[in-house]
């Protein structure tokens, strides 16, 4: 017999503790979760143990020597689901336990030698959104559906008999070619092919025979040391800024696990207010200057452009803000909202704040280009043709001799939050991490580049920003910077995709805009220079 422990995931719902370490490495009631499970497997005579790692994989390395286990790396942990972990150890399936690193078993569930394949289960008294099973009179699982009530549902460890493993391996290897399989759970493969596989039985457990903690609140209820001493630096930082105790930090709710940051909302019971904690993503220090962001946040607060800001650490990059209740993002096609957003940008630029931290879109584009070249991802047919096109346009903008000042540099709809204040529309411009000194056209260029506005709407936005019809120099310069911004973020998207981050439809959007707006701007420059 052998065991495979799944430990590759980010446990994103377990904020903020999971930002610092994988959930399987948390200490619960004096013992590391995964180490307790390994110990219980050893006690049951199972010493052939493989741990599949991904997120913060280096933190698991000590287990190899300490417990004589094998580590297998899943490089796709942040792209696909647990099928991408199981496929990496598919050849090890025999008489095998499949376990989750974050389960806690008060008593050893591995002691009794199983006679057949089984999935462990708890009973839901009432409605549940878990994987619920239909079971026949011989305890065989006949059907599994997501959601149900008054039913046994899948939770915890699984045992594959050798007979089951042979057939499941064959099915899984074929199914993994499909994107839908990679995006799902291995249990989904089992469910789809349940009639083709040897019967798997249910193994029933009582409440609390298997513990799984999906949130800090659940862990606090099980291990009271976490109420006021989580050992989490993030919790200590929040406590210090808000002058509260850890127990006052409640109702934690993940807001996003984004391309550059993760964030969660929480309530501080000491003052009854809601806050947002922003955690910088791994590797973002390569292209984000946190000291520059810190400077810009002070300016944004003073100019009443971002009144949600409370505190930011200038080196580490974590940030604390007020939570804006019932906020929604800017609608590019709402004239009132569009005008207010452009006035915020105008207010910033008219203040003419000079920053010692440069952020020039063309320099940033070249930096992304070098990173992409180093990764060998510069092999598309027109990659350098597009580069030459945008570079020539950038050189034309230099002839305009436009001034520089502090720019936001990421002025897209998602960063303009709209709420109601005293019965009036209120707007806040957040996320200043790309901000810095640059051409005053950078923000409006990025604003258009990150929108779904058509060309006529883009021209209207330029007019609304200026407060007058643009002259030929203004129009050519702003359109050129729309192309430059599109190209910069196009390269950024390629780089992010190289790091396993899905940028969605933005990559193609920015590619198309790079060509479209560069053509428009080039034509205008040619007319000007001929004149």
pLDDT tens figures, 27-84: 999 999 999 999 999 999 999 999 999 999 999 999 999 999 999 999 999 889 999 9
Which phi and psi angles does 464 have, rounded to 5°?
-65, -40
What's the CA gap between 364 and 127, in Å, rounded?
52
Q: With b meaning 16 or more CB within 10 Å and e meaning fewer, what string describes 398-431?
A: eeeeeebbbbbbbbbbebbbbeeeeeeeebbbbb
Rounded-to-10 torsion of CA 499, 500, 502, 507:
40
Task: Indicate whether 465 belongs to any domain.
Answer: yes
Peptide bond into 16 cis (omega under 30): yes
Same domain (yes/no): 267, 299: yes
Q: Is residue 257 scored above 80 in pLDDT?
A: no
pLDDT number for residue 430: 93
Q: Is residue 169 scored above 70 in pLDDT?
A: yes
Rounded-to-10 torsion of CA 505, 509, 512, 516:
160
pLDDT number for residue 283: 74
Q: Is residue 296 scored above 80 in pLDDT?
A: yes
Which domain, by its residues, includes 304? 228-323
Same domain (yes/no): 164, 195: yes
Confidence of residue 259 (pLDDT cuts 50, 70, 90): low
pLDDT number for residue 466: 95
Task: Indicate whether 130 belongs to any domain.
Answer: yes
CA proximity to 369, closest of 396, 387, 388, 395? 387
Q: Which two tokens stand for residue 362?
A: 């063309």
Confidence of residue 113 (pLDDT cuts 50, 70, 90): confident
Q: Which two tokens stand for residue 164?
A: 């089951």
Task: Write the CATH number for 274.
Answer: 3.30.200.20
Q: Which two tokens stand for residue 176?
A: 């993994």
Same domain (yes/no): 354, 312: no
Same domain (yes/no): 133, 7: yes
Domain end: 323, 342, 361, which one?
323
Pairing, β 96-100 against β 2-7: parallel
Q: Is residue 354 scored above 70 in pLDDT?
A: yes
Q: Which two tokens stand for residue 421?
A: 């204040």
Task: Indicate whether 220 belongs to any domain.
Answer: no
What mean pLDDT is reported for the chain? 94
Query: For 190-209, what is the mean pLDDT?
Result: 96
CA proximity to 354, closest of 274, 437, 423, 282? 437
Which stretches within 204-272 are classed as H helix?
A: 216-222, 233-242
Domain end: 323, 354, 386, which one?
323
448: left (phi over 0), alpha (psi -120 to 50) or beta: alpha
pLDDT number for residue 288: 82
Q: Is residue 285 scored above 90 in pLDDT?
A: no
Same domain (yes/no): 249, 105: no
Q: Is residue 287 scored above 80 in pLDDT?
A: no
CA max distance for the chain: 89
C-alpha distances in Å from residue 48, one per residue of 45, 68, 396 = 9, 9, 65
> pLDDT tens digits for 218-230?
999 999 999 999 9
What's the CA gap between 243 and 241, in Å, rounded?
6
pTM flag (> 0.75): yes
Same domain (yes/no): 238, 292: yes
Q: Is residue 483 scored above 90 in pLDDT?
A: yes
Helix (H, G, I), strand (E, B) or coil at 232: coil
Confidence of residue 525 (pLDDT cuts 50, 70, 90): very high
Going 329 to 516 to 506 to 504, the CA torsion angle's sign is positive
Contact 513, 483 (CB under 8 A): yes
Same domain (yes/no): 249, 356: no
Q: Is residue 496 scored above 90 in pLDDT?
A: no
Integer-rounded Cα radius of gyration of the chain: 27
Q: Is residue 194 scored above 80 in pLDDT?
A: yes
Task: Write the CATH number for 149.
Answer: 3.90.550.10
Confidence of residue 260 (pLDDT cuts 50, 70, 90): confident
Helix (H) or strand (E) holding 427: strand 424-429
What's the CA gap between 14 and 257, in Å, rounded?
12
Task: Indicate whether 219 belongs to any domain.
Answer: no
**Number of CB atoms found within 10 A of residue 177's CB:** 8
Task: Indicate whether 332 belongs to any domain.
Answer: yes
Number of structural domains (the chain) is: 3
pLDDT number for residue 73: 98
- β-strand partners of 131: 146
Same domain (yes/no): 22, 168: yes
Confidence of residue 245 (pLDDT cuts 50, 70, 90): very high
What's the CA gap between 16 and 244, in Å, rounded?
17
Task: Indicate whether 526 belongs to any domain.
Answer: yes
Same domain (yes/no): 275, 246: yes
Task: Indicate whether 221 belongs to any domain.
Answer: no
pLDDT number for residue 531: 63
Task: Indicate whether 463 belongs to any domain.
Answer: yes
Helix (H, G, I), strand (E, B) or coil at 473: helix
Give the rounded percent of residues in the chain with a pLDDT score beyond 70.
99
Residue the block writes with tokens 């939570």: 323
Q: Which residues contact 456 (CB under 8 A, 6 or more apart)?
A: none
CA proximity to 474, closest of 402, 390, 385, 395? 402
pLDDT number for residue 324: 93
> pLDDT tens digits for 396-424?
999 999 999 999 998 999 999 999 888 88
pLDDT number for residue 503: 87
CA proximity to 52, closest of 39, 38, 70, 31? 70
Same domain (yes/no): 124, 16: yes
Task: Write the CATH number for 470.
Answer: 3.90.1200.10
Same domain (yes/no): 123, 270: no
What's the CA gap between 142 and 201, in Å, rounded?
9
Same domain (yes/no): 306, 331: no
Query: For 250-270, what is the mean pLDDT?
Result: 88
pLDDT number for residue 498: 87
Domain end: 298, 323, 348, which one?
323
Contact 132, 144 (CB under 8 A): yes
Q: Which residues contact 188 (CB under 8 A, 6 or more apart)?
A: 83, 181
Q: Which residues contact 198 (CB under 8 A, 6 or more apart)?
A: 117, 161, 163, 164, 167
**Number of CB atoms found within 10 A of residue 359's CB:** 24
Which stretches within 278-432 are classed as H helix?
A: 290-302, 335-350, 361-374, 383-398
CA proximity to 53, closest of 72, 33, 66? 72
């Amino acid at each position: 017999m052998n065991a495979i422990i799944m430990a590759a995931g980010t446990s994103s719902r377990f904020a903020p503790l999971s930002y610092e370490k994988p959930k399987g490495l948390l200490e619960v009631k004096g013992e590391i979760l995964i180490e307790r499970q390994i110990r219980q497997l050893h006690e049951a005579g199972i010493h052939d143990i493989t741990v599949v790692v991904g997120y913060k994989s280096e933190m698991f390395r000590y287990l190899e020597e300490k417990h004589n286990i094998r580590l297998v790396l899943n490089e796709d942990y942040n792209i696909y689901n647990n099928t991408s972990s199981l496929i990496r150890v598919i050849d090890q399936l025999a008489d095998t336990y499949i376990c989750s690193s974050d389960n806690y078993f008060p008593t050893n569930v591995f002691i009794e030698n199983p006679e057949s394949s089984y999935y462990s289960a708890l009973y839901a008294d009432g409605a549940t959104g878990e994987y619920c099973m239909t079971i026949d009179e011989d305890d065989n699982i006949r059907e599994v559906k997501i959601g149900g009530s008054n039913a046994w549902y899948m939770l915890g460890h699984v045992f594959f008999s050798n007979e089951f493993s042979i057939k499941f391996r064959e099915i899984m290897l074929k199914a993994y070619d499909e994107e839908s399989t990679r995006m799902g759970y291995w249990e989904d493969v089992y469910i789809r092919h349940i009639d083709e596989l040897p019967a798997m039985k249910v193994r029933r457990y009582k409440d609390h025979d298997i513990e799984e903690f999906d949130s800090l609140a659940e862990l606090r209820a099980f291990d009271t040391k976490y109420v006021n001493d989580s050992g989490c630096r993030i919790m200590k930082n929040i406590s210090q800024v808000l002058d509260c105790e850890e127990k006052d930090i409640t109702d934690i709710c993940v807001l996003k696990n984004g391309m550059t940051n993760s964030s969660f909302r929480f309530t501080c019971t000491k003052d009854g207010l809601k806050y947002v904690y922003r955690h910088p993503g791994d590797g973002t220090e390569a292209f984000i200057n946190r000291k520059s962001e810190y400077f810009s946040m002070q300016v944004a607060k003073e100019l009443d452009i971002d009144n949600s800001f409370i505190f930011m650490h200038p080196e580490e990059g974590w940030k604390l803000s007020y939570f804006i209740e019932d906020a929604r993002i800017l609608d590019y096609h709402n004239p009132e909202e569009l005008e207010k957003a452009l006035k915020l940008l105008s207010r910033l630029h008219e203040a003419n704040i000079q920053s010692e931290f440069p952020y020039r879109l063309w320099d940033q584009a070249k930096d992304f280009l070098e990173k992409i070249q180093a990764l060998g991802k510069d092999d598309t047919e027109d990659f350098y043709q597009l580069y030459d096109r945008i570079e020539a346009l950038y050189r034309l903008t230099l002839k305009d001799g436009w001034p520089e000042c502090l720019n936001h540099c990421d002025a897209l709809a998602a960063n303009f939050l709209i709420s109601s204040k005293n019965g009036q529309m209120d707007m806040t411009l957040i996320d200043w991490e790309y901000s810095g000194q640059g051409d005053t056209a950078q923000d409006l260029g990025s604003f258009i580049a990150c929108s779904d506005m058509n060309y006529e709407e883009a021209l209207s936005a330029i007019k609304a920003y200026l407060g007058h019809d643009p002259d030929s120099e203004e129009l050519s310069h702003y359109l050129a910077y729309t192309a430059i911004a599109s190209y910069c973020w196009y390269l950024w998207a390629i780089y992010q995709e190289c790091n396993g981050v899905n940028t969605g439809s933005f990559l193609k959007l920015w590619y198309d805009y790079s060509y479209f707006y560069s053509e428009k701007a080039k034509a205008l420059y040619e007319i000007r220079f001929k004149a």
